[in-house]
Amino acid sequence: MAISAGDKLPEATLLRMGEKDPERVSLGDLTKNRKVAIFAVPGAYTPTCHSTHVPGFIRVIEGLKAKGVDNVICISVNDPFVMESWGKATGADAAGISMLADADSSFTKAIGMEFDAPPKGLLARSKRYSMIVEDGIVSILHAEESPGTCEISSGEMLLEEVN
């Protein structure tokens, strides 16, 4: 069953690149006593993710911060090396978006957001969504019906709704 607004995020350990090697990061630590925007994509460098979803959050990050969002996090079922490279390639890194890898898709599965699209080579991937998490509790959740669209999960849509 998929996570919903009002639910507490499960504890999860994700990966990001440190100075030389991948490092583990607790999602609970990143959301404790904070207001955080999280968005997930089916895959780094995939068309909609690369040309629409990430650029939208780059455009609205300052507006989200002005509304009290402490951090913006992008999660994908990729390895941390790919996420680091993709963050640099899109400008997400420079904009201040934390690019986190759910390498084994354990977090994605725990919140019920996994999907497979074998014809496109996508297995155990994340559905496209965005959420606001306040002290570990999901207050806003926008999940797309199709992973190829980025409408209700866009940065602009989240910015409109966040208080």
Q: Is 150 a catalytic residue?
A: no
| All residues at 6 or more sequence positions from 142 whose CB lies less than 8 Å from its CB, including other chains | 129, 130, 131, 152, 153, 157, 158, 161
| Measured distance CA(43)–CA(52) in Å, rounded | 13
For residue 71, give the 3-state DSSP assignment. strand
| Measured distance CA(128)–CA(66) in Å, rounded | 24
**Residue 54: burial class (beta carbons within 10 Å; 0-12, 13-18, 19+):** buried
Q: How far is C-alpha 160 from the geometric centre of its chain's CA atoms?
A: 18
Q: Of residues 49, 64, 72, 159, which has the active-site annotation?
A: 49
Query: How big is the CA angle at 40 (ends 37 and 70), to the nearest 5 degrees?
Result: 15
Catalytic positions are 49
